[in-house]
Amino acid sequence: MRLGLGDFRTEANWAEFFERLTPFVAVAVLLICLLLLASVFTLRRRRRGLLLPPPVVLSITDQARRAGMDEAELAAARELRVAVVYIDQNGKHLVKPR
List, for residues 43-74, the tens digit of each pLDDT value: 999 999 999 999 899 899 998 888 888 899 88
pTM above 0.75, yes or no: no
Give the pLDDT score at 80.
92
List, for residues 6-48, the tens digit of each pLDDT value: 666 667 788 998 999 999 999 999 999 999 999 999 999 999 9
Give the pLDDT score at 92.
84
Residue 20: left if φ>0, alpha if ψ -120 to 50, beta else—which one?
Answer: alpha
